[in-house]
Structure 1
Amino acid sequence: MTAASLAHAQTPTAAPQSVTADDSGNEIVVTGTRTAGRSKLDSASPVDVLSAATLRQQGTTELGAALAAVAPSIDFPRASAVDGTDAIRPATLRGLSPDETLVLINGVRGHTAALLNINGSVGRGAAAVDLNTIPTVALDTIEVLRDGASAQYGSDAISGVINLRLRQARSGGGAAVTYGLYDTDINTARGSRSVTGEHTLNASAWQGIGFGSDGYLTISGEYQRRLPTSRGDYDPRITPTAVDSRFGDPSVKQYTAWANAGTSITDSLKLYGWLGYQYRDSTSAAFPRLASATAIPATATTTAQTVAQLYPDYASGFLPYINTHSKDLNSAIGIKGDVSGWTVDGNVSYGRNRIDFSTLNTANYSLGAASPRNFYDGALVYDQLVGGVDVSRKFDVFQSLNVAFGAEGRREGFQIIAGEPGSYQVGPFAQGTFTAQPGAQGFGGFQPSNVITKHRENASIYLDLEAQITEKLLLGLAGRGEHYSDFGSTGTGKVSARYDFSPHFALRGTASTGFRAPSLQQQYFTSTASVIVNNNPVLTGTYPSTSTVGTALGGKPLEPEKSTNLSAGTVIRFGGLDLTVDAYRIHIRNQIGLSENISATFSPQVAALIAATGQQVSAARFFVNGIASTTKGIDAIAHYRLRTDKAGTFDFTVAGNVNKITVTKVPANTAANLNPAPVLFARSRILTIEDGTPGEKVTGTLDWTSGVLGATARVTYYGNVTQPGTTATVLVNGQALTNDLQTGKKAIADLELRYQPKTGVQLALGASNLFDIYPKQAPAYLNTTGVTAYPFYSPWGFNGRYLYVRAGINW
């Protein structure tokens, strides 16, 4: 059990729930099976049901972080100093890329964020769903299918599926306010300090409204205000030394509202739908720009004069801020019911995400002292329209045979909008003998040459059969065919089986193929941005693989990723104990990744090619197929419930994941005009895939309830994570030292105490990271600027102990 899996968050008795259960009390699932009434412990694939109430009973108010706290297969690194990814962070399942997990809302495909993660964090190169656009107050349960499911649900379901099931209530309601702050001691390589503050305020409410005989309207809302955290080291480049960075979480001001509704329109048909909107204003910090560390326009003296005129209060330089305004829409409408003995569900959904970027407290060096200090940098927009129909029926063949089939059509769009001219402008001090870097420092604006509007269409059909052959043998077979307007057709299949030797013991297994279509963002994104390489900003251009630059450097049209998934496991039930253990192997081929930053200094040919862009960039990169990897692991979870007459009810859960990823192939450069051809995928990218998420994660949880009182104690063990450097070692005073950052093996403890009657006033006190545990420090020789004091690959972050109080009322 030390190799366990997703921590099953059991449904607390104090929170109103609508989780459906079978006769033995196991939750009924709708993910991974299209047979009505199947429970999580009776399925052929491993499915975990997490109560949204349990996710709310912890310090974090972010869905991604809350899932990671109770689900060992899920990680949610808190990246910093990586531009827009600071604000829109992706989650990973089984250590795979964030875009290889499909996210559903009430069984309907969710839309990805417009953001493309192009910087050096976990999930580099991915455009993933932003889980934090859906607050936990709007949710009833979350189902996590830990199995390949492309044959059932289509693209992206390589590592699994997360299905977010919205709250459905005809009555009742509640409101809560959570206030928290950090109380932590920060020990960096160059000094120590303490912080008490950096507070977060979260207010949420929900209300169920009934109408007609069975109609419901559930309205949920949330407001969040989070101050930024700062965990950087002291900067040795300034005198006296001080912390001049803001390495940590961004500031956030966020409003979210959701409505979920349904009602019968005839005796056999039901109308349903939902609408959700979120506005998020987030501000993170780039690396500090020092007058002494820049050369703009031509001499250090002129640089100092320019900085002094723009920032008279900051003689040593300035700290740029990257501001994002994310507007996210989710909506759907559908009809379901019985038609001539068949269960039919037809729906149309639309989702849209727009992110506007600004760089504040900055300068365009090439404009000299005339430079503005704030710039609007442009926007990214992604939208998705999906229409589908699902049909199913159970037949009296064998013990039973469930036949399901359906079709889906999807239209996606991606758009880049240019920023104001000053955000990207090449000013007079970047011309002739002057070499000032153009564009807003920290985040350069999108240029007119970056502007695009692209669309594509997709159509798919599927057939899903699930037969109870005998009382003990369950067999499943699924197949799916898809056609994309940009790259053609693909097909996937899945076989599953389960044999119950007794009511207490069963074996189960699956074999499937999967795929992930290249996203529009990966195909068409283009920008010019300052990328931090070895603690120094390098102006880098990102180009489509089929552009003139991309093709010349070795780029080709992107193709879909393909996977082969195998799993085998066991289910054990005895009295109050249930135990599931599932082993898996996932082989991904033709995987897509973002290439290395190919520097103009690599060769005169590359320098000439980059210079021909006219954008004065120092390096270029693009997306490429050709990575192959094999992921092997074990998920397991053990749960035991003990009920006592006097001491209350105790729920014990030990859950964990052991995961090993091996990169078996990297893309070779085939650029015919370059000799030598630059390397497309190097050491740091390989090690990020292999070691960027913990190889072991085990969570032990004790939930206790007695009347109106309750408590949760949780300890999570994380295996070591590596944040790799560009080379294995670096020479320091003639000595070769490691160039990688390590988090170390750590155990994080969380505790919450609750007074929580079913109705009336409620109160909770808690601590996340109770013992103030940090990852290993970044050594001074690797942190020459003082900014990145800890590895931001850390799966539990690097903010330290967080204390909180939650007060609410249910009615």
Structure 2
Amino acid sequence: MASAVHVALAATLLATSSVALAQDSTPPAAPEASTLDTVSVLGSRTKPRTVSSSAVPIDIISGDEFRNQGATDALDQLRVLVPSFNVSTIPIDDAASLVRPANLRGLPPDNTLLLVNGKRFHRAAVITFLGHGLSDGAQGPDLSVFPSLALEQVDVLRDGAAAQYGSDAIAGVINFGLKKLREGGSAEVFTGKYYEGDGLTTQYSAQIGLPLTARGFATLTAEWRKADDTSRSVQRDDAAAAIAAGYPGVGQPAQVWGSPQVDNDLKLVANLGLTTDAVDFYLFGNYAKRDVDGGFYFRDPTARSGVYSNDGGDSLLVGNLNGAGAGACPGIALRDGAGNLLPYSSVSGAVAALPSNCYTFLSSLPGGFTPRFGGSLEDMSLVAGAKGLWGDWYWDVSGSWGRNDIDFIIYNTVNASLGPDQPEGLRFHPGGNTQTEKNLNIDVSRDIATSFTSQPLRLALGAEWREESFKISPGDGPSTAIGPLTSQGFALGSNGFNGFSSRTAGTFDRRNWAAYADLEAQLTERVLLAGAVRYEDYDSFGSTTTGKLTARFDVNEEFAVRGAFNTGFRAPTPGQANISQISTVFGGTALEDIATLPPTNAIAQLKGAQPLTPEKSRNASLGAVWTHGDWLVTLDGYQIKVKDRIALSTSFVVTPEERAALVLGGNPEAASISQVTYFGNAFDTTTTGVDLVTSYKSNHFGGTTTYSLAANWNRTEVDRYDTDFIDAARVYKLEKSLPRTKGYFSIHHQRKVFHANLRLNYYGSWYEDHLDSGVISAADGGLPIYGGSALIVDADVGWTFDSGLYVSVGAQNLFDRVPSKNPWSGVAGAEYPVHSPYGFNGGFYYARVGWKF
């Protein structure tokens, strides 16, 4: 069936390029216009602008274009529509597997601000402990909690906007505009799976618009999705060796690399509005939940430190259940003098002969084990407000509350320090994290007539109060226990992801307030100038002031030049300042337990940690806009300088003497910590790039055909870094891990009830440091991977009938393009480079059937 779909779709033409009207959370929008004149609320606090009239680059994506593709996750939907937006499949990366980090313009996810209907949306509770270098330590929003059916329009402001919106808007701003329906609705079923036969995805969506009295609306949207996991794995070398030596119960493959399983992915969105003679009221919010279950690293029964062996696999780790002082248990060799594995039959015989008080995990888990890691995520928000006119002033007052909660789970693992006393089902609850944010906003604006400008000055003023809290919930007893075998070298806590200790659990909050002013002047019919300034004060580290200047000169009716300069900042989050977690990572060829600690922790301070300070940025852009009939071309260059970037440090070795001193000093968790990392401000970067966006609407092929081309070239350079904080390998990943060139060419054809779409997505070459080997070339003994460029083809055909029934079939990655095979796949069982910017699962075909009423 996959090949039939493959051949049929290869003959189609397709790609989308239509747009719709923006939501109004700022002064009243311009009237409805043609596609090229669709308006966005971003870029200016005073007046919505079109793509062609804006002084800063904006992408406007209609809800239909956003939704009508094979991807069902908002992150993947954005990835193929915005060239400077990158996200990859994230397997075996701790919490990053649950909320995937995304990068706009080559910057980390918490450098992009998410708005909904123009209002700030809260960040996720997940902190990316493992982010492939670029996103390490980031805490960004979770875009996946919104169903695409709820979206009228998605606006992407590709310019710094901290002076207008506050912290986090260094790379840009994404605004989700919700639909406003007072009648009608739709219902839809979607299903698809990968050419390999796995990853079956089923999604049900429904929406209804209801009148809210004679002058209001209530639009309700619901979506439920389930996605099976995938596997692109090969057998690991160490697992194959264990099988060859006769070890029973080793999986085939022992470890799975692939997309995690997603169950009960429920998303609800409500958008309500009511107009009266004097005031307009609005209320909108969301609720979302999902369960995620993914793979983890295989624990080799012949070598895993802290569980099976503590000398690199030469001998078995055996504990005395009567206590360390009760005498040593007999030693058992795992390898011969030449380093070869001894047959399991001989090792198991020695294990069976052990005294009853001597314990080894080889007796209960002789084939090793592979933990499964996941969690239950819950997200909710509510925004309420009123807006209207008071004389010549337009005003908008709103309040919002948002919360993102995650409860982690890890199973098929052990707390080695407990010996045989493991929880039922080898299931642990390590605790969770909760991010809660509250906002109060007052925004006012008005036009001021002058004698020296062709149009009135447009003034906007505003104030904001925000409270942000990060809660660490403690894990259950087994996930945090420091068991009786700890002193004998057995690792404490749930292996792979230790539970949050009650000593480090708690709620950590921060408050801030801000005031801003935004002034826009159309000096002449051809010259537009605008400026913004924002003052923000935080109770944790003081105040900061940011500013922005923009200008546009219309040379004639068809051609204009535009530019902007702004300063920005990103405040360290309470989570980054207080999180404490022990994770297992692959350090080149072996698993290592690394503790991520807050800068205030005694262990982190021992290694040089300092209190966090805000990141500071300077963003400059210069571009041109050309419109001619149905042609639109925009070309924008930009440079973003960020100082004192916040990220996780490299890992620091904790010596036995330091470990003993820390335990005696009241830090019992340090007993099994061999390495630590912490958050810090330690490097500066310069990101330079160019965005090209073009579209042309024609009457080709007997219908309406729209051609679109968009491309991004982006380069990040590390200007300064603390060599005691990060190493050259991390710098290399920061600079090389994303493709420098990314873009798409699309064709959208509409004729009567039929439509066809074709999109060609191009990804330039990229770099992966295989399993964080810590080196940057094979000559140094490491395992880097350089991914080549790739052209990915998406295609879709469909019919929309007068009855409201619509149906479409399509394929993403039509020709099943995957990255080049991982040349070191046997090290950890990954068939392909796992951070490929276009994924590694291959082609995906799908069908969609719906009814719009």
Contact 1:8/1:71 (<8 A) preserved:
no
Is it true that 1:230 corresponds to 2:272 in the alignment? no
After superposition, the C-alpha distances for 1:393-444 in whole angstroms (9 at most, x for unaligned) are 112221221000000000011110111111121222222xx21212212221
Equivalent residue, structure 2, for 1:760 = 804
Report the residue type matching 1:68 in the other structure: R
1:427 to 439, 458, 483: 483
Choose 769-778 or 566-575, whichever is displaced more: 769-778
CA distance in 2, matches of 1:430, 1:23: 69
Partner of 1:70: helix, strand, or coil?
A: coil
CA distance in 2, matches of 1:759, 1:93: 40
CA distance in 2, matches of 1:33, 1:249: 39
Equivalent residue, structure 2, for 1:281 = 291
Contact 1:683/1:726 (<8 A) preserved:
no
Report the residue type matching 2:42 in the other structure: T
Report the residue type matching 2:681 in the other structure: N
CA distance in 1, matches of 2:252, 2:235: 5
CA distance in 1, matches of 2:252, 2:139: 36
**What is the CA-CA distance between 1:776 and the residue it aligns to?**
2.4
Contact 2:588/2:774 (<8 A) preserved:
no
CA distance in 1, matches of 2:745, 2:664: 56
- The structure with more radius of gyration: 2
CA distance in 2, matches of 1:597, 1:19: 54
Equivalent residue, structure 2, for 1:78 = 89
Equivalent residue, structure 1, for 2:301 = 291
Report the residue type matching 2:491 in the other structure: Q
CA distance in 2, matches of 1:441, 1:177: 40
1:177 to 174, 189, 192: 189
Contact 2:117/2:175 (<8 A) preserved:
yes
Report the residue type matching 1:82 in the other structure: D
After superposition, the C-alpha distances for 1:288-327 in whole angstroms (9 at most, x for unaligned) are 123223353665385977556645xxx4222211121011
Question: Judging changes above 3 Å, is the alpha-carbon distance between structure 1 residues 636 and 685 closer, same or farther for their aligned structure 2 residues?
Answer: same
Question: Judging changes above 3 Å, is the alpha-carbon distance between structure 1 residues 342 and 759 closer, same or farther for their aligned structure 2 residues?
Answer: farther
After superposition, the C-alpha distances for 1:319-370 in whole angstroms (9 at most, x for unaligned) are 2111210110111000011112111011001000110011111111222222
Report the residue type matching 1:450 in the other structure: T
Equivalent residue, structure 2, for 1:352 = 403
After superposition, the C-alpha distances for 1:223-277 in whole angstroms (9 at most, x for unaligned) are 010111111222222236942212111100111111100001x313100011210
CA distance in 1, matches of 2:377, 2:692: 37
Is it true that 1:126 corresponds to 2:138 in the alignment? yes
Is it true that 1:389 corresponds to 2:433 in the alignment? no
**What is the CA-CA distance between 1:38 and the residue it aligns to?**
2.6
Partner of 2:302: helix, strand, or coil?
A: helix
Question: Judging changes above 3 Å, is the alpha-carbon distance between structure 1 residues 538 and 19 closer, same or farther for their aligned structure 2 residues?
Answer: farther
Structure 2 residue runs of 5 or longer lacking an equivalent are 1-13, 245-250, 310-314, 320-347, 352-359
Equivalent residue, structure 1, for 2:817 = 773
After superposition, the C-alpha distances for 1:694-715 in whole angstroms (9 at most, x for unaligned) are 1100211111111111111111
Contact 1:8/1:50 (<8 A) preserved:
no
**What is the CA-CA distance between 1:759 and the residue it aligns to?**
4.5
2:830 to 788, 797, 801: 788
1:438 to 492, 497, 504: 492
Structure 1 residue runs of 5 or longer lacking an equivalent are 1-6, 184-194, 669-678
Equivalent residue, structure 1, for 2:847 = 805
Partner of 1:10: helix, strand, or coil?
A: coil
CA distance in 2, matches of 1:137, 1:391: 31
Equivalent residue, structure 2, for 1:574 = 628
1:521 to 575, 591, 600: 575
Is it true that 1:300 corresponds to 2:296 in the alignment? no
Is it true that 1:32 corresponds to 2:33 in the alignment? no
Question: Judging changes above 3 Å, is the alpha-carbon distance between structure 1 residues 730 and 496 closer, same or farther for their aligned structure 2 residues?
Answer: closer
Question: Judging changes above 3 Å, is the alpha-carbon distance between structure 1 residues 719 and 737 closer, same or farther for their aligned structure 2 residues?
Answer: farther
Contact 2:635/2:690 (<8 A) preserved:
yes
Partner of 2:113: helix, strand, or coil?
A: strand
Equivalent residue, structure 2, for 1:137 = 149
**What is the CA-CA distance between 1:123 and the residue it aligns to?**
1.2
Equivalent residue, structure 2, for 1:3 = none
Partner of 2:95: helix, strand, or coil?
A: helix
1:338 to 377, 389, 405: 389
Partner of 1:478: helix, strand, or coil?
A: strand
Partner of 1:428: helix, strand, or coil?
A: coil
**What is the CA-CA distance between 1:775 and the residue it aligns to?**
1.6
Is it true that 1:318 corresponds to 2:369 in the alignment? yes
Report the residue type matching 1:219 in the other structure: L
Contact 2:39/2:51 (<8 A) preserved:
yes
Report the residue type matching 2:159 in the other structure: D
TM-score normalised by L of structure 2 = 0.87
1:176-575 maps to which residues of 2 (within 5 A)?
176-183=188-195, 195-237=196-238, 238=240, 239=243, 242-253=252-263, 254-264=265-275, 266-294=276-304, 296=307, 300=316, 307=361, 310-311=364-365, 315-372=366-423, 373-397=426-450, 398-400=453-455, 401-431=457-487, 434-575=488-629
CA distance in 2, matches of 1:524, 1:260: 35
Question: Judging changes above 3 Å, is the alpha-carbon distance between structure 1 residues 175 and 429 closer, same or farther for their aligned structure 2 residues?
Answer: same
Contact 1:758/1:810 (<8 A) preserved:
no
1:581-592 maps to which residues of 2 (within 5 A)?
581-592=635-646
Contact 1:350/1:386 (<8 A) preserved:
yes
**What is the CA-CA distance between 1:99 and the residue it aligns to?**
0.4
Partner of 1:443: helix, strand, or coil?
A: coil
Report the residue type matching 2:676 in the other structure: A
**What is the CA-CA distance between 1:738 and the residue it aligns to?**
5.6
Equivalent residue, structure 1, for 2:342 = none
Report the residue type matching 1:627 in the other structure: F
CA distance in 2, matches of 1:59, 1:261: 29
Choose 31-40 or 572-581, whichever is displaced more: 31-40
**What is the CA-CA distance between 1:772 and the residue it aligns to?**
1.1
**What is the CA-CA distance between 1:667 and the residue it aligns to?**
2.6
Partner of 1:117: helix, strand, or coil?
A: coil
Please tell me the root mean square deviation across aligned C-alpha atoms, in Å: 2.3
Question: Judging changes above 3 Å, is the alpha-carbon distance between structure 1 residues 484 and 62 closer, same or farther for their aligned structure 2 residues?
Answer: same
**What is the CA-CA distance between 1:777 and the residue it aligns to?**
2.2
**What is the CA-CA distance between 1:475 and the residue it aligns to?**
0.3
Report the residue type matching 2:623 in the other structure: G
Equivalent residue, structure 2, for 1:685 = 730
Report the residue type matching 2:693 in the other structure: I
Give the structure with the larger strand fraction.
1
Contact 1:235/1:242 (<8 A) preserved:
no
Contact 2:46/2:518 (<8 A) preserved:
no
Report the residue type matching 2:109 in the other structure: P
TM-score normalised by L of structure 1 = 0.91
Contact 1:523/1:558 (<8 A) preserved:
yes
Question: Judging changes above 3 Å, is the alpha-carbon distance between structure 1 residues 140 and 443 closer, same or farther for their aligned structure 2 residues?
Answer: same
Is it true that 1:113 corresponds to 2:124 in the alignment? yes
Equivalent residue, structure 2, for 1:189 = none
Percent of pairs with identical residues: 33
**What is the CA-CA distance between 1:98 and the residue it aligns to?**
0.7
1:47 to 55, 58, 71: 58
CA distance in 2, matches of 1:738, 1:534: 7
Equivalent residue, structure 2, for 1:639 = 695
CA distance in 2, matches of 1:509, 1:20: 26
CA distance in 1, matches of 2:219, 2:390: 27
**What is the CA-CA distance between 1:97 and the residue it aligns to?**
0.9
Is it true that 1:748 corresponds to 2:759 in the alignment? no
